[in-house]
Structure 1
Amino acid sequence: MKRRSEIAGCGSVQIGGGDDSPYLIDSGGCKGDQSIRMAVRATMTRFPGDPDAQETCGLPWGVTLTPFATKDENGSPPVYGSDGHLLPRCENCWAYYNTYCDQEQWAWICALCGTLNGLSSHSIARHSLPDSCPETLSSFIDLELPLEGSEEMQPRPVYVAMVDISSSEEFLELTKSALLAALEALGPGSLFGIATFSHKIGLYDVQGAIPVVKNVFTPPDSDGNLAMDLEDVMPLFSFLAPVDTCKDGIASALETLKPTTSWERTTDAGQGLDGVFLGGRGFGVAIEAIVNYLGSEYGNTYALARVFAFLSGPPDYGPGQLDTRRYGEQYASKGEDADRALLPEQTPFYKDLAAVAVQVGVCVDIFAVTNEYTDLASLKFLSIESGGSLFLYSNTDDSTLPQDMYRMLSRPYAFNCVLRLRTSTEFKLGHSYGHFFPDPQYENVQHIICCDSFATYAYDFDLANNTGFSRHTSELPMLQIAFQYTVVVPPDELSNSGPSSTSREKYSLRRRLRIKTFQFGAARSINEIYDSVDPEVVLSILVHKVILASSEKGVREGRMLLHNWLVILIAQYNDAYKIAQYESGSLTTANIDVAFSQCPQLQPLPQLVFALLRNALLRFHEEGVHPDYRIYLQCLFSALEPSSLNRAIYPLLTSYSSPDKQAFPHHSLSRAALMTSGSPIFFLDAFASLIVFYSSTADPALPFPPPQNCLLRNTINKLKQERSITPQLKFIRGGQDDATAFENYLIEEQYVGGNGFPSVLGFVSFLEEISQGVVEYMK
């Protein structure tokens, strides 16, 4: 082959030697139960044996993992134990003792690097009773760690709502509903604070008979400071109210929220340059002040802090203000590429603030409810690097914000986590992807301030030397995940007690170390690699790589990278299987197998790449893709586990002969499928959207919408419960309702899509184009 695919390749970051730093991590939260698994899924379960195999296979080599899920990839929970700090570690690579290690009477051999390590007298005594020793029973363990610092400190989860009042009544009503839903989801012992921002910051004291708000005006200049610290405006103990006793006061305070009037903003905020009135949405100075406000009491007043920032538009006042004039028709006159110019951040303000938030244990979730350009490209770092989420809702009418708030706060979560992957000596980590903050001192160590049971991260690998996995030894590739985290644990008797026992004194902090160790196979041929591929994980790694490429160099670069990767993969597959035959010294598309007909594991990839190229993540600006929506998709897709991401990229279309009987489990995304199936009802699962479509020829006697407790409804309800976000459910009757929302997902035909963009290819034409590219590549 001529060259190696850029996507198949990965970085060459060397893992630093030595131990991890002694992180002081003392906060967390855990609530409810989930069925999401800690599935460590690899792009291929049989790893490339040498550099030539890695290059020739043309596939990205890596894994995805969901570290705080309740079960592993086999559906088994971790084996719990104590004394995690005494677990033996390798003196060379610092890997933890595990079931794959060979043990002698006084020593053990590290399964990752082969080093012989001595055993302490405590470890010898511990391992003399193997039936009570978690690390000898399972490769998936959860061990208690001693808490550092004051063990008398009670867990006080802190939640602060920052509400944009430079907004509309509709926005505030939606925000109130969301916060009332949040109050129902918060655990006992939580502290809650309400702050507002516009051209001033308002702090609410809700612990008295009547809610009291105190305001401090924010400076209009971009580098100004508040006239006084928030602690001087209102002591933190007055601002943070116990949810147990102040829920009514919090609800009353929410009812008092009113939008600032245009008169207030123009009078108090003043005028900007050229006599233009400033908007008065001083989010930057407000969030910076709140982070500092909370940070002064980190580890004392609170054990964990989470800030919910509700935005109705772009920050346009004071420090952190964003210039939204960069979005618009100016690109036509300046000759700039909008797909490239709108993806990078325009200011480091929010990325720098994220580093501060990480240091003081504050996680920031951003909820933007607007169709106005808000420059989420700049704001996103504050959320994703602090371990938070970024949500975007285009309007208040059909927003799922209240449901998303409740869902987010009801699932299990851990705080102030440290994640580290170690590999056996033959290979090494390349890039890491996900919503975390990289450790500034130690390589391949990630800090995650908030990690829930859905949060997923990705890593890719490269061989550490030219030898690879030698065929002459019994050594197999090893991977070990170490995940330190803290949770707030409820009392054991909570489920059997009444409301009076739910006081915060009965809750306690627990610091734990979760370890999962894997052994993979080493492939002896390219065919073995291809036969062990997991296409959903391949898609995950591809998505991370094209997000990175498009963010740095523009959407065109991301599309080109993805297109070229598929061309090279097909070429190398045809070469490996000796399919491509030259006729009269030339190669034509008729001689190319573009559908991977001899390898079922690779067959989904052309469709997935086609769908990804058609997704708004990689469509062009001129096709009507809003830049904020693209950023939202980047943040969403980069945190999804592979199966969910697969559904978000390539929706599943099934058909039903009646609401209680499924007809076909899978259709192509085309109008032809609708016409030839003969089924009256279709159900489309696009992860964030669930659509039930009744054909125009459906029998009028069929109940519409499907009745409760039928098979179709039960399927929908199960999917809704399993999602990390609340999917929107729509019912459409063909021939009577507007079917655009459904038809936009039928991407496999030529010239489909609501905008009718003329250069859009159908799937057949796409394969023809790829085939031609393969011929050109193999010449």
Structure 2
Amino acid sequence: MLRPTSARIPANAAVQTRSAVPCGVLVTPLSPSPPPRSTLAFEASLPPAALASYKSAAATTSTAIPRCTACRAYIGAACNMNARYWACAICSQRNTLPTRYSPILLAPPEALHIVPELSRHLYDLPVENIITPPPTAYIFLVDANGDQPFMDAARKAIRQALLSIQGVSIVGIMLYDHNVTLLDLRAEILRHFSPQDPSLNASHVFPPDQWFRTTNNQTVSKIVSMLAKFRAKEHAQVSAPTKSALGTAVKAALDMIETAQLLAARVLVLAATEPNFGDGAIQHASHPLPDDQQHPPKPLTRFYEQAGVRANLLGAMFDVYISSKTPVHVASLAPLAQISGGRLTMYESGEESLSADVWQHLNDPAVVRGLLRVRTSSCIPVADVYGCGVYQDSEVPEVYRLSCHGHTSTLAVEFRASEESPPANVRFASVQVAFQGVFIEPGSLPQRVLRVQTQSYALTGSGSVIRKEADSNAIATMLFHQAIATADEKSIGAARMLLFDWLANLFFRAAKKAEAGDTPGIDGNLTRYPALQPVPRLIFGLIRSFLFRQEPVDPDSRAALRCIWEDLSPELLAAAAYPRLYSFLNLHEKNNHELPLSSAAVKECGHPIFLLDAFSDVVIFYATSSRKDLQYPPPESSVVMRVRGQCVRDRPVAPKCVVCREGTPKDRWFKSFLIEDPLPGAAAQSFSAFIQGVADAAEGMLQSSKKQ
């Protein structure tokens, strides 16, 4: 769950400055727990009474976990302990150990692994529930203004979703246009209410006890057939301008969730048009200004931000899927998904992957009503927390509220090294993350769970050591979140400058010294720091991305891309910022080295087949030098296709897969990702020119420091 930007922590602020490496950790709340050490053989060797005694010592709920009396941190494997006391890993406070643990600590060391809270750095425990929680609700909000392909894709997606949530779940379906229509699945009738009638509450029109429970394929078919009838009946003849009351449908869904007093809910919005009627209608200026390319797109209404906050507090997660042939102002809708912990996905060329994405998202792990607390040693206090939809609790500033989904959902926690070094006998700094929320699993009752992880990292007074043990992908992820915050506060240009200046400072701090036996000066290749060598290309990729590039970008594309990238793990973000390029000697033999993203590298390589993984796109490219005996497209049994399968596995969105030959119209997919080449007639530099500019800036810093 925790991943530091470097395996070493700076002993003070001066060391952090000299290292040029951001100090912090990435938090992945839903990362899979590591498998426990096997104790089966040891348990089999124990007398039944002893085994029962050891197992009874383990905490069964979160309230039974020992906590520090000073800082309230939880016990963990990073804590020193004996049969009577344990020392807090965060503040070193000595605490009394509950007597139930004494037999474990006096037994052979293998016995400790029977008790997770004593033997593991990361452990999960259920939070005690007084009553059985109500089932999870799944609500579908479907835009009735969509054309026939959209409605067909929506029905297919809903069918896939219902098949995956069969069991202990309840379902509600609404369609919206100028009215909001609720499907009463038991009576097989439609219930309408108008956005213009504020006295009419959706929970009165459609009480929660009339929602349908998913139990078998027959009920799924019944729901899908009702959707088909509604489409044919209501939209056979449409001539008036479309009206879209999405905001009213969102409010109705939240009203029903609140009235039913649900613990958890998933709401899936399938949108085809911009909301322009009722609550949450997006009002454009009568004389629209040209697109502002200097700042991220801003919401035109706060309705969806406020709805997202309400959804977060009610335990409702909104996933928004947009397939529209016209602009929908994604920036206004995005806060609904981001703050509630859901995803926003925009389809620019059809809805082919809609059903696959819906199925994947519903089967990913998800948590609502999440509370995050980060505790640290006094030498590295928390400076800021970045992430998609995370915000401070209004009553307890040290607690952050968030809902999240998927194993890859990642937050960034930045530390600020203290001015003074800790005492000489303090050699480690510790970080503990406690995350509590309601875990949702399709077909099962929601369960409140606490996850705790505690890690200790060695302190160092050497900036060079921090650079040598740095994590390039973690650093790029931290800088990405800082750049997003800078773009929001200042401008996109300021975000680009932040990334450029940071890289120049890294080159300056990593400059070769004369006493090291090398030629002194700026080293743009970072030859002494192999761990940092991927960083320049990652920074270059971020600057050239649709989020930060200087060239004009469609506002909806920029806002939708941000929703996806802000939630990615370091490896996926690295692939999105600087795609991976592999070459193949033939269909069954892969070159082990990744290639730079340049046409020169492709040409010099001389191999006939290439595979480019850009996270949301996977392109297989046949060069003109390909032998005639190489089958096109590659067969499923080939190594090329197996590598493609590995690339697309477990992605939060289904990547677009393209196979093309050089010299055909489709080869633009491949060439558009060769970002190290300069763009003709654009302000974007080639990678070599970019690195030269960074090195020149670093050289200026070096000369200035010599004068001082």
TM over 0.5: yes
2:116 and 2:668 map into 1 onto residues whose CA distance is 55
User: Residue 190 of structure 2 aligns to which amino acid in structure 1?
Assistant: V
Asked if 1:231 is matched to 2:206, the reply is: no
Asked if 1:305 is matched to 2:265, the reply is: yes
Residue 403 of structure 1, CA deviation: 0.9
Asked if 1:339 is matched to 2:294, the reply is: yes
In structure 2, the partner of 1:99 is 77
Q: 674, 687, 696: which one pairs with 1:763?
A: 687
Q: 434, 440, 443: which one pairs with 2:387?
A: 434
User: Residue 413 of structure 1 aligns to which amino acid in structure 2?
Assistant: A
2:36 and 2:674 map into 1 onto residues whose CA distance is 35
CA offsets 1:145-195 (integer angstroms, 9 cap, x no match): 3114x23x4x51211110111232222122122112212222412211110
Distance 1:44 1:450, change over 3 A: closer
In structure 1, the partner of 2:46 is none
2:323 and 2:515 map into 1 onto residues whose CA distance is 54
CA offsets 1:437-460 (integer angstroms, 9 cap, x no match): 432222232233343323221111
In structure 2, the partner of 1:559 is 496
In structure 1, the partner of 2:191 is 214
Q: 214, 237, 249: which one pairs with 2:222?
A: 249
In structure 2, the partner of 1:66 is 28
1:263 and 1:254 map into 2 onto residues whose CA distance is 17
Asked if 1:198 is matched to 2:198, the reply is: no
TM-score relative to the length of structure 2: 0.90
In structure 2, the partner of 1:514 is 451
Asked if 1:323 is matched to 2:323, the reply is: no
TM-score relative to the length of structure 1: 0.82
Q: 90, 106, 111: which one pairs with 2:89?
A: 111
Q: How does 1:331-370 map to 2 (within 5 A)?
A: 331=290, 337-340=292-295, 343-370=297-324
Distance 1:577 1:159, change over 3 A: farther
1:772 and 1:437 map into 2 onto residues whose CA distance is 39
C-alpha RMSD over aligned residues: 2.8
In structure 1, the partner of 2:621 is 693
CA offsets 1:731-759 (integer angstroms, 9 cap, x no match): 001123431111001111222xxxx4422
1:721 and 1:526 map into 2 onto residues whose CA distance is 38
Distance 1:143 1:659, change over 3 A: same
Does the CA contact (< 8 Å) of 1:81 and 1:141 recur in 2? no
Residue 110 of structure 1, CA deviation: 1.1
In structure 2, the partner of 1:284 is 247
In structure 2, the partner of 1:672 is 600
Does the CA contact (< 8 Å) of 1:324 and 1:373 recur in 2? no
Residue 603 of structure 1, CA deviation: 1.4
SS in 2 for 1:427: coil
1:265 and 1:304 map into 2 onto residues whose CA distance is 40
Q: 113, 133, 145: which one pairs with 2:127?
A: 145
Q: Which range is displaced more, 711-720 or 534-543?
A: 711-720
Q: Share of identical aligned residues, percent?
A: 25
SS in 2 for 1:385: helix
SS in 2 for 1:449: strand
Does the CA contact (< 8 Å) of 1:195 and 1:203 recur in 2? yes
1:638 and 1:469 map into 2 onto residues whose CA distance is 34
2:649 and 2:363 map into 1 onto residues whose CA distance is 12
Residue 263 of structure 1, CA deviation: 8.1
Distance 1:425 1:680, change over 3 A: same
Distance 1:653 1:227, change over 3 A: same
SS in 1 for 2:693: helix
1:650 and 1:142 map into 2 onto residues whose CA distance is 35
Residue 592 of structure 1, CA deviation: 2.6
Distance 1:725 1:339, change over 3 A: same
Residue 67 of structure 1, CA deviation: 1.9
Does the CA contact (< 8 Å) of 1:193 and 1:241 recur in 2? no
Does the CA contact (< 8 Å) of 2:269 and 2:318 recur in 1? yes
Does the CA contact (< 8 Å) of 2:284 and 2:300 recur in 1? no
User: Residue 552 of structure 1 aligns to which amino acid in structure 2?
Assistant: E
Q: How does 1:706-721 map to 2 (within 5 A)?
A: 706-721=634-649
Unaligned runs of 5+ in 1: 1-37, 220-224, 267-276, 491-503, 583-589
2:225 and 2:492 map into 1 onto residues whose CA distance is 47
2:689 and 2:36 map into 1 onto residues whose CA distance is 41
Unaligned runs of 5+ in 2: 40-54
1:626 and 1:261 map into 2 onto residues whose CA distance is 31
1:415 and 1:134 map into 2 onto residues whose CA distance is 24
Residue 508 of structure 1, CA deviation: 5.0
SS in 2 for 1:88: coil
1:105 and 1:772 map into 2 onto residues whose CA distance is 60
Distance 1:385 1:76, change over 3 A: farther
Does the CA contact (< 8 Å) of 2:427 and 2:458 recur in 1? no
Residue 575 of structure 1, CA deviation: 7.0
1:379 and 1:736 map into 2 onto residues whose CA distance is 38
In structure 1, the partner of 2:510 is 573
In structure 2, the partner of 1:651 is 579
1:577 and 1:662 map into 2 onto residues whose CA distance is 42
In structure 2, the partner of 1:15 is none
Asked if 1:478 is matched to 2:430, the reply is: yes
CA offsets 1:527-548 (integer angstroms, 9 cap, x no match): 1011011000001011111111
Does the CA contact (< 8 Å) of 1:478 and 1:518 recur in 2? yes
SS in 2 for 1:481: strand
Q: How does 1:155-194 map to 2 (within 5 A)?
A: 155-194=134-173
In structure 1, the partner of 2:50 is none
Residue 133 of structure 1, CA deviation: 2.3
CA offsets 1:543-562 (integer angstroms, 9 cap, x no match): 11111111232211211111
User: Residue 255 of structure 2 aligns to which amino acid in structure 1?
Assistant: N
Does the CA contact (< 8 Å) of 1:81 and 1:142 recur in 2? no
Q: How does 1:496-645 map to 2 (within 5 A)?
A: 509-574=446-511, 591-620=521-550, 623-645=551-573
SS in 2 for 1:228: coil
Distance 1:760 1:102, change over 3 A: closer
Distance 1:513 1:624, change over 3 A: same
CA offsets 1:698-746 (integer angstroms, 9 cap, x no match): 1122101111121111111222223222111110011234311110011
In structure 2, the partner of 1:501 is none
Q: 586, 589, 592: which one pairs with 1:661?
A: 589
CA offsets 1:43-76 (integer angstroms, 9 cap, x no match): 111011111011122221111122222234x998
2:117 and 2:395 map into 1 onto residues whose CA distance is 29
1:61 and 1:576 map into 2 onto residues whose CA distance is 24
Asked if 1:702 is matched to 2:630, the reply is: yes
Does the CA contact (< 8 Å) of 2:168 and 2:214 recur in 1? yes
1:680 and 1:105 map into 2 onto residues whose CA distance is 66
User: Residue 47 of structure 1 aligns to which amino acid in structure 2?
Assistant: I
SS in 2 for 1:256: helix
1:139 and 1:719 map into 2 onto residues whose CA distance is 30
CA offsets 1:216-260 (integer angstroms, 9 cap, x no match): 1212xxxxx534111222222224443536212111122124397
Q: 248, 257, 280: which one pairs with 1:294?
A: 257
Residue 128 of structure 1, CA deviation: 5.9
Number of residue pairs aligned between Structure 1 and Structure 2: 679
Q: Which range is displaced more, 735-744 or 698-707?
A: 735-744
1:194 and 1:248 map into 2 onto residues whose CA distance is 14
In structure 1, the partner of 2:406 is 452
Q: 417, 437, 452: which one pairs with 2:370?
A: 417
User: Residue 522 of structure 2 aligns to which amino acid in structure 1?
Assistant: I
Distance 1:663 1:522, change over 3 A: same
